[in-house]
């Protein structure tokens, strides 16, 4: 049974049982504790936490959620059942059915025949575990379902008690295992061998509230929840592994095609008798290709921190694994195309993002291949140092430095060390790696915290969602439904109080979608509250953060909520300009340039987009031109309330990481020119935006760029300032503005010529004194040694030129030349050694390091020439003497 059919059967089974099918959320959610969605229940947390009432008609739901877990990336391919990306099929009950309902539904799907819509698993091969004292679940399994007592095993909190790892809902769970047969391990059920007995489904009976604590079992259970809920998770990949009769989750119909491609590209073979390390590498390629592709699909781009770092690490593990398998050329494009082909039937959005995904992945591959080149050079330098010292083992610290600082993989270090006849201190490397992981885990734990207590808003969320009137008006009469001061509900507020105000209706826009919240005021008679921010709770409750500047306000009062018209005017100009720039960008760069975030405030916007190359001045100019042509075209701005499916059919663009409801708002500017899903406020006609001045674009991470621009009067002021600047330069250079580029180019050319001439004169002056310098050389134990400081202003290049000339003049003698030059607070220096000196044991690199100790500097190079730079010029004379003392010992 193909994986796509497994997904469809799961969903249909629970829809038939009255559950509402909920689409998978993005892998990226606004959750302070998660880099990625890592469990099927994550999008439902507000309902389990009691912050919101579930919006499902029957109080039940089902979903197949995209998940990513990367805590133990190094374990991928070693076990038979772990993927970094996986699909968690789940059914959820919010106070409807409980243990018996969850158990019955799960058992039915697993054991019903294929003809009946089930998976047709043999009931005799299914085992279950329950929590130690959960007699209720054990009795249901035995008495209602008919599972023999000997196939029901009890486990403790570490295994069969669930929580989110922080204070919140928790409860015992029951796990379902499939016996894969004696060829996979010993008998005795899951407690005896969790390889033979593969866990396929976890049923969580969410009935309690946990307190503070660390770990899976070290916390207090505070008491029962108001409602008993169900959260289950069936591993789609694990069920596919069983139904398809393959050895592990890497060989299912979704991932095996990538392994086949890897065989073609590397020449290695994925067979039972293959090297175990090669098998792991094949699985890493398959697993990480899918995870990387899905992360890019949801808007992640490679970087050195956060989500981007995880993606970069995954992609680089693919590249190095393929390389170790024997790949010589680039592989990423073929891996990505293969996994997109297998995944697209379940995720059709892959099709429209295929080119962008390839662009990001291939760009990272190119960057990493360059890193491998530089890492190889650093490795070679380290090996040369070892051999010169007659050592046979690369230190763990050096191996870790190559891995951590330069991104050079440890497995490549091991392979290359073996080729060089060296060992690697893996104990030291593992100790350094372990210390890094401990720091990372401690940092991660420090950042975790309990969910912000939003229960204070629950009454209004459930009964009085805010009516937003701001699309049509800037002023609305409203009733004060709630007042919150210092985190507590109050019945009145006075002058000076900072307060959160809940109104039944409001024209003030709450911050969302990159558009900052409106500024405004709340007025009632002599009472005035200045509103500085508006935030949404649960996407349906507007919370006005205000300060009482006059009078007082009571709960239940009737007030007038008013938007600052100047603020709104500037905000809508910037927001609508953002849509125009997005449309212009896609016209110039193509569909692979997709929005990755934005910020709009009155008169200013920034627009982030996924793109791997710097824009040329011509491209940026064309984007600005198309944007302002759209302004000049007087396009009408239309908004349409429709279904999500219809909006997609219209071609409306959606933002990555956003989870849209079934009803959405489409903003259309100029018909097909710009169509986007957007809940923000906009101008009525593009002409109202006024001029848009594109300031420039820049990189904000690997594969991510940013355009910044002014709109309206801010754009006009910017242009005026630029015009004044051009006028001033034109007047100073005595040319017309249109002749400035040519005039500046001529001046620049003359300046470069003058600088070149000065440099040549300085070099000639230096070279004229070379013969005089040699007269200063001293004899040190048979070495001809010259230590000298060149005139101030000499550069590092001058040092190399003079040192090379001096060495050539005394090449037949054992000679050492040490030169310095003063460059402000810096002291560049160089050491050159002749061949006879090298034969007597001199190494320029060693002398540079010794000299660097006295001038607070460092450097390196080859035995015949090495350079460095220091920050303590006053130590030069001591350094000169130290070099002479060292030569006396040779």
Spatial separation of the C-alpha atoms in residues 821 and 793, rounded to whole Å: 7
Q: Which residue has the higher pLDDT, 377 or 576?
A: 576
List, for residues 866-879, the tens digit of each pLDDT value. Answer: 999 898 988 999 99
User: CA separation (Å) from 600 to 230, 583, 847?
Assistant: 41, 16, 57
Task: Report the CATH number that the domain containing residue 825 is assigned in CATH.
Answer: 3.10.310.40
Structural contact between residues 652 and 665, judged by C-beta atoms closer than 8 angstroms: no
pLDDT of residue 410: 74
* Phi, psi angles (nearest 5°) of residue 136: -60, -50
Spatial separation of the C-alpha atoms in residues 510 and 533, rounded to whole Å: 8
Residue 474 and residue 612 in one domain? no
Spatial separation of the C-alpha atoms in residues 239 and 178, rounded to whole Å: 9
From the list 30, 19, 78, 83, the residue with the least C-alpha distance to 54 is: 19
The count of domains in the chain is: 5
Residue 91 and residue 23 in one domain? yes
CA 824 to chain centre: 41
Which of 367, 390, 411 finishes a domain?
A: 367
Residue 736 lies in a domain: no
Q: Is 579 annotated as a binding residue?
A: yes
- CB count in 10 Å sphere of residue 178: 22
User: Residue 430: is its pLDDT beyond 80?
Assistant: yes
Which of 334, 367, 400 finishes a domain?
A: 367
pLDDT of residue 33: 67
User: CA separation (Å) from 515 to 405, 420, 535, 604, 724?
Assistant: 38, 58, 12, 11, 32
pLDDT of residue 412: 66
Dig out the tokens for 850 from the structure.
Answer: 């010794």
Spatial separation of the C-alpha atoms in residues 336 and 288, rounded to whole Å: 10
pLDDT of residue 30: 67
From the list 25, 595, 64, the residue with the least C-alpha distance to 299 is: 595
Residue 135 lies in a domain: yes
CA trace torsion 429, 435, 436, 438 (10° rounding): 140
Query: What SS3 state is found at 861?
Result: strand
Query: What SS3 state is found at 268?
Result: coil
List, for residues 91-149, the tens digit of each pLDDT value. Answer: 999 999 999 999 999 999 999 999 999 999 999 999 999 999 999 999 999 999 999 99
Structural contact between residues 394 and 423, judged by C-beta atoms closer than 8 angstroms: yes
CA trace torsion 577, 580, 581, 583 (10° rounding): 160
Residue 827 and residue 782 in one domain? yes
Q: Mean pLDDT across the stretch 439-455?
A: 51
Domain interval for residue 467: 455-563
Spatial separation of the C-alpha atoms in residues 770 and 809, rounded to whole Å: 10
Q: Is 872 annotated as a binding residue?
A: no
Task: Report the CATH number that the domain containing residue 43 is assigned in CATH.
Answer: 3.30.930.10
Structural contact between residues 93 and 229, judged by C-beta atoms closer than 8 angstroms: yes
pLDDT bin (cut points 50, 70, 90) of residue 441 is: low
For the ranges 211-215, 504-508, 722-726, 860-864, the maximum mean pLDDT occurs at 504-508
pLDDT bin (cut points 50, 70, 90) of residue 615 is: very high
Query: What SS3 state is found at 129?
Result: strand
Spatial separation of the C-alpha atoms in residues 433 and 396, rounded to whole Å: 9
Residue 601 lies in a domain: yes
Decide the pairing of beta strands 663-669 and 553-554: unpaired
Residue 447 lies in a domain: no
Spatial separation of the C-alpha atoms in residues 615 and 849, rounded to whole Å: 43
Spatial separation of the C-alpha atoms in residues 186 and 196, rounded to whole Å: 7
Burial class (CB in 10 A: 0-12, 13-18, 19+), 729: middle
Residue 47 and residue 151 in one domain? yes
Task: Report the CATH number that the domain containing residue 474 is assigned in CATH.
Answer: 2.40.30.130
Residue 33 and residue 181 in one domain? yes
Q: Which helix (H) or strand (E) holds 213?
A: strand 197-214
Percent of the chain at pLDDT exceeding 90: 57
The residue written with tokens 């073996």 in the block is 418
User: CA separation (Å) from 501 to 453, 539, 681, 729, 875?
Assistant: 17, 16, 22, 54, 67
Residue 737 is classified by DSSP as G
Spatial separation of the C-alpha atoms in residues 648 and 791, rounded to whole Å: 71
Residue 749 lies in a domain: no
Residue 162 and residue 205 in one domain? yes
Helices (H), 267-305: 276-297
Structural contact between residues 457 and 501, judged by C-beta atoms closer than 8 angstroms: no
Spatial separation of the C-alpha atoms in residues 561 and 506, rounded to whole Å: 6
* Phi, psi angles (nearest 5°) of residue 776: -85, -5
List, for residues 507-548, the tens digit of each pLDDT value. Answer: 999 998 889 999 999 999 999 999 999 999 877 899 999 999
Q: Is 678 annotated as a binding residue?
A: yes
User: Which of 36-50, 185-199, 332-346 shows the lowest per-residue confidence on average (mean pLDDT)?
Assistant: 36-50
Residue 559 and residue 576 in one domain? no
Dig out the tokens for 512 from the structure.
Answer: 């969302």
Spatial separation of the C-alpha atoms in residues 104 and 139, rounded to whole Å: 13
pLDDT of residue 234: 96
User: CA separation (Å) from 140 to 98, 143, 169, 762?
Assistant: 11, 5, 23, 93
Residue 681 is classified by DSSP as -
Residue 197 and residue 224 in one domain? yes
Structural contact between residues 480 and 495, judged by C-beta atoms closer than 8 angstroms: no
Residue 657 and residue 707 in one domain? yes
Tell me the pTM.
Answer: 0.67
pLDDT of residue 491: 94
CA dihedral (582, 585, 591, 595) positive or negative: negative
Which of 333, 367, 401 finishes a domain?
A: 367
DSSP assignment string, 577-636: HHHHHHHHHHHHH-TT-EEEEEEEETTEEEEEEE-SSPPPHHHHHHHHHHHHHHHHTT-B
Spatial separation of the C-alpha atoms in residues 188 and 127, rounded to whole Å: 10
Q: Secondary structure of 5-21 in the HEC alphabet?
A: HHHHHHHHHHHHCCCEE
Q: What is the largest CA-CA distance in the chain?
A: 105
Spatial separation of the C-alpha atoms in residues 511 and 680, rounded to whole Å: 9
Residue 420 lies in a domain: no
Residue 507 and residue 592 in one domain? no
Residue 750 lies in a domain: no
Residue 222 and residue 133 in one domain? yes
SS percent in the chain: helix, strand, coil, step 5: 45, 25, 30
Residue 386 lies in a domain: no
Residue 626 and residue 706 in one domain? yes
């Amino acid at each position: 049974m193909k994986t796509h059919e497994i997904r469809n059967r799961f969903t249909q089974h629970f829809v038939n049982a009255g559950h509402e099918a909920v689409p998978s959320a993005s892998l990226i959610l606004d959750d302070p504790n998660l880099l990625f969605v890592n469990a099927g229940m994550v999008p439902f947390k507000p309902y389990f936490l009691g912050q919101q009432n579930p919006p499902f008609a029957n109080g039940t739901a089902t979903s197949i959620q995209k998940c990513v877990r990367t805590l133990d990336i190094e374990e991928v391919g070693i076990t038979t059942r772990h993927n970094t990306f996986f699909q968690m099929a789940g059914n959820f009950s919010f106070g409807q059915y409980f243990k018996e309902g969850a158990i019955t539904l799960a058992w039915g799907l697993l054991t019903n025949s294929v003809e009946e819509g089930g998976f047709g698993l043999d009931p005799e091969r299914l085992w279950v575990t329950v929590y130690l004292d959960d007699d209720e679940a054990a009795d249901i399994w035995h008495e209602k379902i008919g599972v023999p007592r000997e196939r029901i095993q009890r486990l403790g909190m570490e295994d069969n008690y669930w929580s989110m790892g922080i204070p919140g809902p928790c409860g015992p769970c029951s796990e379902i295992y499939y016996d894969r047969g004696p060829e996979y391990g010993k008998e005795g059920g899951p407690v005896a061998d969790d390889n033979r007995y593969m866990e396929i489904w976890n049923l969580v009976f969410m009935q309690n509230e946990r307190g503070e604590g660390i770990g899976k079992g070290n916390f207090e259970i505070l008491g029962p929840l108001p409602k008993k809920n169900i959260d289950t998770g069936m591993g789609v990949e694990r069920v596919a592994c069983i139904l398809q009769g393959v050895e592990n989750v890497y060989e299912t119909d979704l991932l095996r095609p990538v392994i086949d491609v890897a065989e073609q590209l590397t020449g290695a073979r994925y067979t039972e008798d293959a090297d175990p390390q090669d098998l792991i590498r094949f699985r890493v390629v398959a697993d990480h290709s899918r995870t990387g592709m899905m992360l890019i699909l949801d808007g992640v781009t490679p970087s050195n921190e956060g989500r981007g770092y995880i993606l970069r690490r995954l992609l680089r593990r693919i590249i190095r694994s393929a390389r170790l398998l024997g790949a010589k050329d680039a592989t990423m494009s073929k891996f990505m195309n293969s996994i997109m082909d297998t995944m697209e039937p379940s995720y059709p959005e892959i099709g429209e993002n295929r080119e962008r995904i390839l662009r990001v992945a291939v760009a990272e591959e190119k960057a990493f291949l360059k890193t491998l080149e530089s890492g190889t050079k650093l490795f070679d330098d380290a090996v040369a140092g070892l051999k010169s010292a007659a050592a046979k083992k690369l230190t763990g610290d050096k191996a870790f430095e190559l891995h951590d600082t330069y991104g050079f993989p440890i497995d490549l270090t091991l392979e290359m060390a073996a080729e060089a006849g060296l060992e690697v201190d893996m104990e030291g490397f593992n100790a350094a790696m372990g210390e890094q992981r401990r720091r990372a885990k401690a940092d991660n734990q420090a950042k975790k915290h309990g969910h912000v207590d939003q229960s204070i808003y629950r009454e209004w969320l459930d009964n009085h969602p805010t009516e937003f009137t701001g699309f049509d008006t800037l002023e609305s009469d409203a009733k004060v439904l709630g007042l919150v001061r210092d985190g507590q509900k109050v019945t009145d507020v006075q002058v000076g109080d900072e307060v959160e105000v809940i109104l039944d209706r409001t024209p003030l826009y709450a911050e969302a979608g990159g558009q900052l919240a409106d500024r405004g005021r709340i007025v009632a008679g002599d009472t005035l509250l200045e509103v500085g921010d508006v935030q949404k709770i649960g996407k349906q409750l507007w919370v006005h953060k205000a300060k009482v500047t006059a009078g007082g306000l009571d709960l239940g009062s009737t007030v007038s909520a008013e938007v600052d018209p100047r603020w709104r005017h500037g905000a809508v100009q910037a927001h609508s300009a953002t849509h125009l720039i997005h449309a212009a960008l896609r016209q110039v760069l193509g569909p692979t340039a997709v929005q990755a975030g934005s910020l709009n405030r009155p008169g200013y916007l920034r627009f982030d987009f996924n793109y791997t190359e710097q824009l040329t001045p011509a491209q940026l100019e064309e984007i600005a031109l198309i944007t302002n042509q759209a302004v000049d075209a007087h396009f009408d701005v239309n908004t349409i309330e429709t279904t999500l499916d219809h909006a997609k059919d219209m071609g409306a663009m959606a933002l990555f990481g956003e989870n849209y409801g079934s009803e959405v708002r489409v903003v259309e500017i100029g018909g097909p020119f710009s169509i986007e899903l957007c809940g923000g406020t906009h101008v009525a006609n593009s002409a109202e935006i006024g001029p848009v001045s594109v300031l420039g674009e820049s990189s904000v991470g690997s594969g991510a760029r940013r355009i910044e621009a002014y709109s309206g009067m801010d754009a006009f002021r910017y242009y005026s300032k630029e015009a004044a600047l051009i006028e001033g330069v034109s007047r100073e250079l005595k040319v017309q503005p249109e002749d400035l580029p040519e005039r500046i180019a001529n001046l620049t050319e003359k300046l470069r010529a003058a600088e070149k001439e000065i440099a040549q004169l300085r070099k000639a002056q230096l070279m004229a004194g070379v013969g005089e310098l040699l007269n200063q050389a001293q004899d040190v134990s048979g070495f001809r040694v010259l230590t000298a400081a060149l005139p101030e202003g000499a550069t590092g290049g001058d040092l190399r030129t003079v040192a090379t000339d001096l060495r050539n003049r005394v090449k037949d003698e054992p000679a050492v030349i040490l030169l310095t030059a003063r460059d402000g607070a810096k002291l560049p220096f160089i050491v050159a050694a002749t061949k006879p000196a090298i034969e007597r044991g001199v190494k320029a690199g060693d002398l540079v390091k010794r000299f660097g100790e006295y001038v607070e500097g460092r450097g390196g190079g080859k035995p015949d020439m090495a350079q460095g730079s220091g920050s303590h010029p006053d130590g030069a004379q001591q350094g000169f003497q130290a070099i002479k003392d060292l030569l006396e010992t040779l």
